[in-house]
């Protein structure tokens, strides 16, 4: 789900449209982006990096970058985190940036069930690169932009405002046991606007509606472990996302075999199939590296979009035996191996 390139216009109109957040196929490798209640799920301090290149066969399509930090505070039954997300559409024509801070609190309901509550507060900026836009009066009916690639000069007036700053709030809940988990997140609770191009009575009204995410899964022990003690397991899971009138559901599974992990998912956008997703990755010490590819199944066709490529990289800063002993002392028993 992405914001479309809706800036191909020849005149400024008062036009309400809706922006949409990028959704990572490797949602488990970007847990703070999925639900603020995941803050601190790694126990040890961790740095996570994500990059998504969507539809590379389309010229200047979509690029998303994210970096995040999280760690638990077991003496407070809490977790904290921070993230920076950057999204570029049309080779930088439309850009968004967000800096977010996260806090979560864990409550033990009984011997088999625990709850995590999380909140997020962020600063959001959207920016339009006016000089990269091409208007109808710049085009020649025969030569288009012409040999210089610049076209004619435009009569469109440059707006006074090409950027917008907003604050953003989100909240989430996780319920989990040793084998099962489920969660819900409500992002953009304040339903802010990304209004741009303010110039007199003309503007481009971009709403940023609340996003609902529902996710869940299980962790099934396959027995045995890798050379360094990594568990062998299978984790079936699902993700449902809805924002404004757009929705998607993703179902599949993740396998962990010692240091190697893999996964497959099917994504549907509500009325039609969207993509089949394949994942392969490897763990080495404190490092986890994953690569996934989205094969387009919709009428857009794989040969036209080029699919989507996604890379995740995480560094867990303390996987020592001392840290493992600390985990046991705070009675941590959950099914979040896929998220670590």
9 pLDDT band (50/70/90 cuts)?
A: very low
Task: Quickly count: other Cβ atoms within 10 Å of residue 332's Cβ.
Answer: 15
Quote the CA–CA distance of 317 and 250 in Å, as a whole number: 31
| Structural domain contains residue 99 | yes
Please state the domain count of the chain. Answer: 1
In a domain, 29, yes or no: no
Q: State how far the alpha carbon of 168 is from the alpha carbons of 69, 131, 204, 267, in Å.
A: 19, 28, 20, 28
CB neighbour class for 320 (10 Å; exposed up to 12, middle 13-18, buried from 19): exposed
- 225 falls within a domain: yes
Task: Quote the pLDDT of residue 70.
Answer: 96
> Minimum mean pLDDT among 37-41, 120-124, 170-174, 189-193: which range?
189-193
Task: Give the residue with greater pLDDT, 27 vs 208.
Answer: 27
For the chain, percent of residues with pLDDT exceeding 90: 51
pLDDT of 44 > 50? The answer is yes
Least confident range of 27-41, 116-130, 167-181: 116-130
Domain span at residue 331 reads 35-127+171-189+210-339
Please name the residue that has the structure tokens 């002392």: 329
Question: In degrees rounded to 5, what are phi and psi of residue 337?
Answer: -60, -35
pLDDT-derived band at 47, boundaries 50, 70, 90: very high
Residue 38 · residue 118 · CB < 8 Å? yes
Backbone φ, ψ for residue 261 (5° rounding): -140, 155
Q: What integer pLDDT is reported at residue 304 of this predicted model?
A: 84
Amino acid 135: pLDDT = 67
pLDDT in tens, 202-235: 455 566 789 999 999 999 998 876 565 567 999 9
The residue among 311, 291, 304 whose CA lies nearest residue 59 is 304
Residue 221 lies in a domain: yes
323 domain residue, yes or no: yes
Q: What is the dihedral of CA 211, 312, 234, 106, to 10 degrees?
A: -50
Instruction: For residues 28 and 169, give the distance between their C-alpha atoms in angstroms, rounded to a whole number.
Output: 21
Of 324 and 3, the one with more pLDDT: 324
* DSSP single-letter state for residue 305: H
| Among the listed residues 119, 121, 124, the one whose alpha carbon sits nearest the alpha carbon of residue 39 | 119
| 256 has pLDDT over 80 | yes
pLDDT at site 303: 85
In a domain, 18, yes or no: no
281-331 pLDDT per residue, tens: 999 988 999 999 999 998 888 888 889 999 999 999 876 555 555 555 555
Domain assignment present for 155: no
Average pLDDT over residues 115-132: 89
Neighbours of 335 (CB within 10 A): 19
CATH number of the domain at 242, please: 2.40.160.40
Model pLDDT for residues 235-251, shown as the tens digit of each residue: 999 999 999 888 999 99
pLDDT score, position 234:
96
The answer as to whether 159 is a domain residue is no
For the chain, give the mean pLDDT: 83
Given a cut of 80, is residue 175 above it in pLDDT?
Answer: yes
pLDDT band at 24 (very low <50, low <70, confident <90, very high): very high
| β partners of residue 264 | 253, 278
């Amino acid at each position: 789900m992405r914001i479309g390139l809706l800036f191909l216009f020849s005149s400024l109109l008062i036009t309400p449209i809706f922006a949409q957040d990028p959704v990572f196929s490797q949602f488990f490798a970007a847990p703070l982006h999925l639900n603020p209640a995941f803050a601190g799920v790694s126990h040890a301090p961790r740095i996570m990096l994500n990059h998504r290149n969507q539809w590379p066969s389309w010229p200047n399509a979509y690029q998303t970058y994210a970096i995040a930090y999280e760690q638990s505070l077991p003496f407070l039954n809490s977790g904290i985190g921070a993230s920076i997300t950057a999204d570029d559409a049309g080779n930088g024509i439309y850009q968004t940036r967000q800096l977010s801070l996260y806090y979560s609190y864990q409550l033990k309901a009984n011997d088999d069930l625990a709850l995590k509550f999380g909140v997020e507060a962020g600063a959001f900026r959207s920016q339009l690169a006016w000089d990269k836009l091409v208007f109808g009066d710049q085009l020649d009916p025969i030569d288009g932009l012409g040999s210089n690639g610049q076209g004619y000069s435009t009569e469109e007036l440059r707006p006074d405002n090409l950027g917008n700053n907003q604050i953003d709030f989100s909240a989430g809940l996780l319920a989990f046991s040793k084998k099962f988990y489920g969660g819900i997140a409500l992002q953009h609770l304040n339903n802010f606007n990304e209004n741009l191009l303010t110039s007199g009575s003309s503007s481009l009204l971009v709403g940023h509606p609340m996003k609902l995410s529902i996710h869940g899964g299980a962790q099934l022990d396959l027995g045995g472990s890798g050379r360094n003690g990594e568990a062998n397991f299978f984790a079936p899971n699902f993700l449902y996302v809805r924002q404004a009138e757009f929705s998607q559901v993703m179902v599949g599974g993740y396998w962990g075999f010692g240091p190697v992990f893999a996964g497959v998912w099917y994504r549907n956008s509500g009325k039609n199939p969207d993509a089949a997703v394949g994942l392969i990755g490897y763990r080495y010490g404190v490092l986890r590296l994953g690569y996934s590819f989205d094969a387009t199944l919709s009428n857009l066709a794989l040969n036209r979009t080029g699919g989507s490529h996604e890379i995740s990289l995480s560094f867990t800063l303390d996987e020592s035996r001392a840290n493992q002993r600390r985990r046991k002392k705070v009675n941590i028993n959950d099914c979040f191996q896929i998220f670590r």
